[in-house]
Amino acid sequence: MTTVVQVSNPKGYRGLYRFHKYWGKKPFEPIAFIIESLTDQDEVVLDPFVGSGIAAREAARIGRRFIGIDLNPIAVQLSKFLVSPPTVDVVREGLEEIKKQVREDIEASYTRIDENMVAMDYLWDTKVDRRLVATHYLWDNGTLREIWRAKRGSKRKVYEPTNHDISQFKKYENYQPRHIRLPKFFDNSRINTSTDLHLNDLFTGRALRNIDLLIEAIRALPLSVQPVFELCLTASIGQMSNMVFAITGRGKTEGKEPEKIEVGSWVIGYWRPELHFEINVWSRFCIRTKRLIKALEKSPFSLPSHQLTDDPIQVLHDNARVAIVHADAFATLNQFDTNCIDLILTDPPHGDRVPYLELSEMWNAILCNNVDFEQEIVVSNAADRRKGLNQYSTDMNKFLNIAADLLKKGGFLVILFNAGKSEDWQYLHSFTHQESSKSSLEYLGHFPVPYSARSVVQDSRQGSLKDDFAMVFRKPGADDTTSDRVRNLQSLDGWSNTFPTGKGE
């Protein structure tokens, strides 16, 4: 059983939960604690906005049936992966196969043949692996400034670019991807996108050509293993793009060492810094896949694949343990009978905090996934999308009412939520404060859910939100045995039976 201390001090995203970025991930400790406290073995947990699938894995791991729904194809693929990841051997063999197919070809595009190279340099590298393959290119506003060969555990070698390096780059300058679909971007200055933003603005032609080669090699693998390598690719795609900024300005003070440049990372949105890196596509893919192998070694749980389905009714009828459904939540929930779910635990869209589909567009374009922007529940700054607060509040209110119908008597609804603007809280506030005669759910209270310390994609700007709240509701039951289940939650630090203060009042 997860402890109270673990809930208040989550460790952060490690292992499998760190493998792939997704926005708004919640730490697994509170998720596990809520599920363990509010349900018994084999009971059914529903998350209609499942995101990256942490709740799906935790529920399956601790023996609950689970239904997860999401509109975003990449979220669905990630969730399925987390519930039933392949074995370490499958990933190792797949990586070897991909390596055989494309490593040499990809690395040839980063190979340096430099007539002016100091003989010792060449020897040094010849001894190591017979080639001199660059790992990083530092670009400054369109000019190639430095070339690096960096290896873990040894000092990086830095080279001046030569004509050969420039011609290597130019060879692919106008490369048009063959396996990646055109991304759909909106005018949204908040995430640095515009309708005329192209893949070639985000990646060098060389990177696109090498990503194409990786996609071809992945498609040549057996169908069952392709999804995990697609995720290894999307997980590393940010670091393959022109969005990897360079960290500068260290040691600038007079008399100190000269400026040292470090590799930053792609963090959020589509910001294209003038000073940025272009990183070797093979090395990024390989490092990410090896990290996954390590994570799988440490976290061996995997639901047998025949117990994972995309039909939620199979889970309700106990013919499968977990369903991950790619659909609009309402379209799916409409198929359910009333009183069929024991716990609805969800982290729904939080107003305008994260435009998930717009931010995931790079991943979905790489995998040629179709995306239904129309159905997304979100408040977006992209005017063209016409996704405003009114529609958001109506949709969320509709969801709360459906949730009340779907819960069994004595069942629980836990909503993880926070938003900076009080109007984004309004739907929750009105639902919670309905007169009890009209409301079919009783509000029990809330507790804080801290973000994990090492969350790379939580908003860490000054003034940004630091916690979410877990708000707990119960459908009144025939008897009151379920109130025992709440006691665990009531023992948590920060538990309060009030509505979170200052919001929506």
Ligand X SMILES: C[S@@+](CC[C@H](N)C(=O)[O-])C[C@H]1O[C@@H](n2cnc3c(N)ncnc32)[C@H](O)[C@@H]1O
In whole angstroms, give the CA distance from residue 137 to residue 204.
11
* C-alpha separations of 125 from 106, 129, 134, 150 in Å: 18, 6, 11, 12
Binding status of residue 51 toward ligand X by CB under 6 A: yes
Q: How far is the CB of 48 from ligand X (least distance, A)?
A: 6
Binding status of residue 500 toward ligand X by CB under 6 A: no
Binding status of residue 417 toward ligand X by CB under 6 A: no
Binding status of residue 349 toward ligand X by CB under 6 A: yes
Applying CB under 6 A, which part among 3-11, 44-52, 173-181, 422-430 lies near ligand X? 44-52
Q: Name which of 410, 409, 392 is nearest 400 in CA terms.
A: 392
Q: Look up residue 293 and give its amino acid.
A: I
Binding status of residue 347 toward ligand X by CB under 6 A: yes
Which residue lies nearer to ligand X by CB, 232 or 414?
414
Among 2, 37, 39, 52, binds ligand X (CB under 6 A): 52
Cβ contacts of 62 within 8 Å, gap of 6 or more: 32, 35, 36
Which residue lies nearer to ligand X by CB, 356 or 443?
356
Which residue lies nearer to ligand X by CB, 147 or 329?
329
In the stretch 320-339, what mask flags binding to ligand X with x, by CB under 6 A? --------xx----------
Among 20, 25, 57, 387, binds ligand X (CB under 6 A): 25
Cβ contacts of 279 within 8 Å, gap of 6 or more: 135, 136, 137, 239, 240, 244, 263
Helix (H, G, I), strand (E, B) or coil at 94: helix
In whole angstroms, give the CA distance from residue 64 to residue 57.
10
Which residue lies nearer to ligand X by CB, 186 or 356?
356
Applying CB under 6 A, which part among 91-99, 157-165, 345-353, 406-414 lies near ligand X? 345-353
Which residue lies nearer to ligand X by CB, 50 or 281?
50
Binding status of residue 312 toward ligand X by CB under 6 A: no
Q: Look up residue 70 and give its amino acid.
A: D
Binding status of residue 352 toward ligand X by CB under 6 A: no
How many residues belong to the site for ligand X (CB under 6 A)?
A: 22
Cβ contacts of 424 within 8 Å, gap of 6 or more: 350, 351, 352, 379, 389, 392
Applying CB under 6 A, which part among 23-31, 260-268, 406-414, 492-500 lies near ligand X? 23-31
Binding status of residue 376 toward ligand X by CB under 6 A: yes
Cβ contact 354:51 at 8 Å: no
Binding status of residue 469 toward ligand X by CB under 6 A: no
Residue of closest CB approach to ligand X: 51
Binding status of residue 362 toward ligand X by CB under 6 A: no
Cβ contact 379:289 at 8 Å: no
Which residue lies nearer to ligand X by CB, 112 or 350?
350
Asked whether the CA dihedral 494, 499, 503, 505 is positive or negative, the reply is negative
In whole angstroms, give the CA distance from residue 134 to residue 109.
9
* C-alpha separations of 35 from 43, 325, 374 in Å: 10, 20, 32
Applying CB under 6 A, which part among 113-121, 173-181, 344-352, 440-448 lies near ligand X? 344-352
Residues 66 to 95 in contact with ligand X, rule: CB under 6 A: 69-72, 75
* C-alpha separations of 248 from 260, 264, 277, 279, 292 in Å: 6, 9, 12, 17, 30
In whole angstroms, give the CA distance from residue 93 to residue 87.
10
Applying CB under 6 A, which part among 64-72, 142-150, 153-161, 293-301 lies near ligand X? 64-72
Q: How far is the CB of 407 from ligand X (least distance, A)?
A: 18
In whole angstroms, give the CA distance from residue 6 to residue 13.
13
Among 375, 381, 439, 490, binds ligand X (CB under 6 A): 375
Q: Name the CA dihedral angle for 411, 379, 465, 28, rounded to a multiple of 10 degrees.
A: 40
Which residue lies nearer to ligand X by CB, 308 or 449?
449
- Residue ranges in contact with ligand X by CB under 6 A: 22, 24-26, 49, 51-52, 54, 69-72, 75, 328-329, 347-349, 356, 375-377
